Structure 1
Amino acid sequence: MTKPCVFITRKLPEDVVAPLSAIAEVEMWPHEDVAVPNDVLVEKAKRAAALLPMVSDPIGEQVLSAGAELKVVANMGVGYDNIDVPAATRRGIVVCNTPDVLTDTTADLTFALLLATARRLVEAAEFLKEGKWKSWSPFLLAGADVHHKTIGIVGMGNIGQAVAKRAKGFDMNVLYYNRSRRPEAEAELGAIYRPFADLLAESDFVVCLTPLTPETRRLFNREAFRRMKRSAVFINAARGAVVDEQALYEALVHGEIAAAGLDVFEKEPVDPAHPLVSLPNVVALPHIGSATYETRRAMMALARDNIIAVLEGRPPLTPVNRPS
């Protein structure tokens, strides 16, 4: 009996792939840090029963329509806005993601980004390396306190709640805005619900953790930044397109907010000449929210196990759609 074909869009460790190779013919793009070209992805989809893409790989109509044998697309990431889920559903293709296994790791990075931005850690490290440290002075590279401040979390899912737990360790007042109220976060974490506009106005740190949807695209626009305190720090560890980057740039340059920490951008990889990257009050990272060895391996394994389940006729572990 011919084994089904699986295409993986980056080179993954052989020990992770081995259980999949036992039941399928597995082909991997032979690069860890170079994206597979779209024309190659379309060609590989033509004979694939399963695809295992990264969150940066666009799986749209062209790829899905090429996959006549395609049964499952197992995204390596909690977000799946890179996949045309309605088109997959119409074709009976299961789409899966990797939730939960990256919650704490992404929350760690989010809070680290908040701390680094507030305390100007990257700027200070470069200041020392460049030989600019000549003397101690009262306000040399002075940043902002984090403890006892107010954090406003936009997107109170699992990662948002994990960030709130970390914020409570710093004795922060936790506000949140979400599409629906989160009674468990209110009861367990003392989080207080605020309408979006009120949260912006009251928070010292505004942390974006909302998924990218048609409703949240450009949610953080010129009006949103103008509602924030001039001393506010904005953190985005969600998706770049939730932010109007030109509006953020202008808010930072004109002193409408104090600083920003960004792990994501609308177009990735980001150009080093991007206006936001050049600003001294911006800490910019290359989308490393879940980037620890332990968590990335767990994500790979969950994506793999979703594929194995579907190919063996069992329900997927973490589906995001329900094709009929």
Structure 2
Amino acid sequence: MPTSPPDASMPPVVDPGDMLPLPAARQTARSRWVPVRWAELPGFEQDSLDEAWNAFIKSCERPGTTFARLCSEVRRLSLSTAEEQRLWLRARLQPYRVEPLGGPSAPGGDGLLTSYFEPVYDASRVARPGFGVPIYRVPPTLAQRKPWFTRQEMDLLPEARAQLAGQELVWLADPLDALILQIQGSGRVRVQEADGSQRMVRLAFAATNDQPYRSPGKWLIDQGLLRGDATWPGIRNVLLANPQRQQDFLWSNPRMVFFREEAMSPLDAQFGPRGAQGVPLTPGRSIAVDPQSIPYGTPVWMASQGPVANLQRLVLAQDTGSAIVGAVRADYFAGWGPEAGEFAGRMKQPLKLWVLWPR
């Protein structure tokens, strides 16, 4: 339906906070928050906030004490217009620019945005021709040995293999797909059961072997096999050209992730896995952060411009990851499936963050 052009005679939107002095700066264990006016947030007037409100409501399922008092208002605004939601944000929250403790010129001050996704694969409940790569549940002896066996030891040591026997959740076709699933931390699989029936289930993160994560892509670069294109498509091409190096490539990352299986209802299928906050992730509106810089459940204004995307939007801090460390650091949840995987595999851009904290 056509809309009327804006009336140039109408006064601009007034930031309720403009009538108040700016509060003092705040500090967390790994960041400094500098108060700013709403006008400093790039693209704030253009964002479709109603798209972010579902993620905000999800955070209100497990809010911290700071945001719990606002959640009844957040829920009431779920059917409001984006402009009404924008006015509420201005009235109830104060934006703070996130910086490293040493200031914007300190290491990490430029910020870094990466992305992750939920892969979708075919799987078999039992090992059979074409499906020979196991995905494991948590082994019973995991708590008795820290760190547990490395990825290479799980493949080679009889003791490790004996402790993994019977712990297979499903079997995948491709060891690289299994590695991607483990690095992403969750995934959806179309499982063919022993009786031939199929169903979609989620494999959710359960634990790790407590070994350090080492980037397989960096290993390929260090070996002189990969130059520049350290993305999953680029990695696949290198391994196709050098199949004799695939096993060493897989073993270069000693960390193994173990999973638990979750049923997926039609409603579950509309959201991603549960993040570290304990709520389902929303594609394009959930980020993983360093919780020592930004607490879970915090609404965040994000700005990142680069070759992959121009992102200026409201997101919610709902997850974390072993590589997500530092003040201005975020991992953007892109969704699920091949398109999200292609996006996530290429995302590596500068980043600016502003936390939106209750007044």
Q: TM-score range by the shorter chain?
A: under 0.3
Structure with the higher helix share, 1 or 2? 1
Larger RCO (CA under 8 A, 6+ residues apart): 2
- TM-score normalised by length of structure 1: 0.22
Give the number of the structure whose alpha-carbon radius of gyration is greater: 2
